Amino acid sequence: MRPKYVVGNWKLNGSLPGNESLLRAILKEVSPQPGRHLAVCVPAPYLAQVRGLLEGTPVAWGGQDVSRFEKGAYTGDVSGAMLREFGATFAIVGHSERRTLFGDTDEAVAQKYAAARKAGLVPIFCVGETLAEREKGVTESVLARQLDAVLEVSGAAALDGGLVAYEPVWAIGTGRTATSAQAQEAHAFLRGRVAKKDAGVASRLPILYGGSVKGSNAAELFAMPDVDGGLIGGASLVAEDFLAIWRAAVA
Ligand code: PEP
**Which residues are registered as beta bridge partners of 190?**
none
Distance between Cα 72 and ligand 1 center (Å) = 31
- Select which of 97, 129, 133, 167 is catalytic: 167
Rounded-to-integer distance, Cα 83 and Cα 52, Å: 14
| pLDDT string in tens for the chain (251-residue length) | 899 999 999 999 999 999 999 999 999 999 999 999 999 999 999 999 999 999 999 999 999 999 999 999 999 999 999 999 999 999 999 999 999 999 999 999 999 999 999 999 999 999 999 999 999 999 999 999 999 999 999 999 999 999 999 999 999 999 999 999 999 999 999 999 999 999 999 999 999 999 999 999 999 999 999 999 999 999 999 999 999 999 999 99
Q: Which of 37, 95, 97, 129 is catalytic?
A: 95
Is residue 163 within 8 A of residue 123, CB to CB? The reply is: yes
Which of 5, 172, 217 has most ligand 1 atoms within 8 Å of CB, for mutation? 172
Q: Enumerate domains of the chain plus CATH numbers.
A: 4-250 (3.20.20.70)
Tell which atom from ligand 1 comes closest to the C-alpha of 11: 2
Is 167 a known active-site residue?
yes
Ligand 1-lining residues (CB < 6 angstroms)? 9, 11, 167, 172-173, 210-213, 231-235
- 210 C-alpha to ligand 1 centroid (Å): 6
Q: What angle do CA 246, 249, 251 make, to 5 degrees?
A: 105
The pTM of the full predicted model, rounded to 2 decimals, is 0.98
From ligand 1's centre to the CA of 86, what distance in Å? 24
C-alpha 81/C-alpha 22 separation (Å) is: 27
